[in-house]
A and B are shown apart, each in its own frame.
Chain A
């Protein structure tokens, strides 16, 4: 049985869908289709505020933005000056304390990257690291 080039390509494309769908179902709890951060690693402004002194806030935005304004008590920790700022953060953080990381808005990626790096590179690996839903924009909206 002979297939045209287009039919062959279509059959291969359709066949690849099947395991892809299976894998999407298998990984449904590990990845969100709405946001690049899994729901279990995000926290809303209200929830994070409820944690009070049990949480430490990290500002993942560039230095200029942090200098302009930031969440009261937040510590600056960004990718640009990671090695310089990490010791300051570790000195302020006590084990067991929750960490809330934020960047400018929901669409920014800096908070996720900083949170990921904290989880993977610190020894022992940090747990309870959360990304603030809506970022700085959401915090401003709720507080001003």
Chain B
């Protein structure tokens, strides 16, 4: 009996979700409920961002995977890599985007996917700006033929928007990991 009582007390005082639950008044309880509700809404909104980004990368990856020959030529237009490496990338990059997109949806290897996608977008942005400075007429091929007639500012704006969303998800993921590490921050 005594040990059960102790266990019950432990459960009350060590609950990381509700650190002040052992002195809960009706006001505190409703504040906790509101806090939890706001937390759930925030999580839900971040999940929507996850899904949108995943959709963008899976869509872009599938379009490119359907026509790797065209993608190899698009990569070659940047005049950065030798043809052989461009061909290798044309076969590899679409699948990397698809797998990372799926990882975002499934929240499996989530941080790894976020870091790969962020790196890809940064590399792509630098390559696009460098090509523009060198006066190269490039088709990014990011979304297959759909993006063929997009202007440079449109490409840039879309990539920057994706980069900002990825950075926000990275920040959120790190913040969540920290909160899980220090129990009092989770509520």
Contact = CB atoms under 8 A, between A and B. Distances in A.
B18 interface: no
A36 interface: yes
Contacts of B83: 33-36
Given A19-B95, A20-B92, A5 B115 contact: yes
Determine chain A's interface SS by DSSP, over half rule.
helix
Contacts of A23: 65, 68, 91, 95
Contact of B113 (A12, A18, A35): A12
B95 A16 contact: yes
A9 B116 contact: yes
B162 interface: no
B95 A33 contact: no
Interface residues of A, number: 27
Interface string B96-116: 101110010000011111011
Interface stretch (A24-32, A42-50, A57-65, A128-136): A24-32
Given A12-B99, A15-B99, A27-B68, A36 B73 contact: yes
Interface of A: 3, 5-13, 15-21, 23-24, 27, 30-31, 33-36, 109
